Structure 1
Amino acid sequence: MEQLVDWLSQPWPWYVAGPMITLVMVLLLLTGKSFGVSDTLRTTCAMGGAGKVSDFFNFDWKKQVWNLVFVLGAVVGGFIAATWLQQPNPIPLAQDTVQELQRLGISNPGASYLPEDIFSWESLFTLRGFILLVVGGFLVGFGTRYAGGCTSGHAISGLSNLQLPSLIAVVGFFIGGLLMTHLLLPFILTL
């Protein structure tokens, strides 16, 4: 049993994870469904009766319950991974990356997947934490709605269906990610 837990706590190689993602996509295509996490909020709002207020939420949400089960599974899986499958060793980062992150104010880069200097309740009440967590979260939500889906929906499902809007959205996600990483994040981390 201990060997199984050790195996599960390691990152899965591409030749395991890739075919599993492909299998999920094939099953979704065969059942006429599309993959995306951002629809879960719409489904939840529709379940709560938001369709009485806005036509956007006025649809048959019962056909989307599978999406809620998927998100619940992701939350439960995240809990299991964080509680029982934690990797006790530091994350192997290149020395240049460690030095750059330390220069930007991250005190112990690589000690955990989410640096506590950014992702903690104490950080939330700093200017840097507020910008990254609250403003960033709002922008992700707005961008998801504006793009008509999230990164997983467009990059995995939309590209699998050869949808041009998904290709445009994914190109935009990458450009935005590069701009954030190389221009905005270094500025925000020095606040």
Structure 2
Amino acid sequence: MEIIELLRRPWPWYVAGPLIGLTVPVLLLLGNKSFGISSSFRHICAAVIPAGLPFFKYNWRKEAWNLFFVAGIAIGGFVGNFWLANPDTIVVADETRQSLAALGVQDFSGLMPADIFAPGNVFTLKGLIFFVLGGFLVGFGTRYAGGCTSGHAIMGLSNLQWPSLVATVSFMIGGFASTHLLLPFLLNLAR
């Protein structure tokens, strides 16, 4: 199998999981760095906002590696989408299709359901709730929780941090509640 074909296929959990897990000791050994993505927003703000806000008064240049890490993720996503995209159709379980069809989601032709994520949906009530309010809540939640899911679930749990366990369990409970309680309500808006 060629390397390009290997990169185009989904990787099994027993390969991808340990590779993600190995980032923690590698970052710690190479420079005593902690893994996390949401802190990069603070670094960007500290770099571009000249105001004297105490939250942004720190040496952000010391954390510039994190900005390169996030830029690498974005570039990797771009490369993966345009040059290494999986040519196979995304397989969605029949039970999931039936559950979503009952909520009005019918189009599974792309990576994301077009019934929700089509460009025409952005300026609808449903789109504003999903994208604007949802984006704000995710951003606020990561700051309130002291980090995002990757920082808490990967880095924090590997360091046996109690707050990271609480945050990760809270993320899971919030995800289940959103899926089973909020999503049906939101998908039925303006239907």
C-alpha displacement of 1:18: 2.2
List alignment gaps of at least 5 residues for structure 1: none
C-alpha displacement of 1:102: 1.7
List alignment gaps of at least 5 residues for structure 2: none
- Report the count of equivalent residues: 188
Partner of 1:19: 18
> SS of the residue aligned with 1:117?
helix
Residues 105-125 of structure 1: per-residue CA shift (max 9 Å, x gap): 21212x222122222321101
1:179 aligns with 2:168: no
**Distance in 2, Cα, partners of 1:149 & 1:126:** 30
Partner of 1:113: 111
Equivalent in 126, 136, 139 of residue 138 of structure 1: 136
**Distance in 2, Cα, partners of 1:119 & 1:68:** 28
Amino-acid identity (%): 54
Partner of 1:32: 32
Residues 15-61 of structure 1: per-residue CA shift (max 9 Å, x gap): 221221232110122221111111101001111144x3311111111
More relative contact order, 1 or 2 (CA 8 Å, 6+ apart): 2
Partner of 1:48: 48
C-alpha displacement of 1:5: 2.3
> SS of the residue aligned with 1:26?
helix
Partner of 2:57: 58
Residues 120-147 of structure 1: per-residue CA shift (max 9 Å, x gap): 3211011111111111110000100100
Q: Which amino acid aligns with 1:154?
A: H
Q: Which amino acid aligns with 2:101?
A: Q
Equivalent in 116, 119, 122 of residue 120 of structure 2: 122
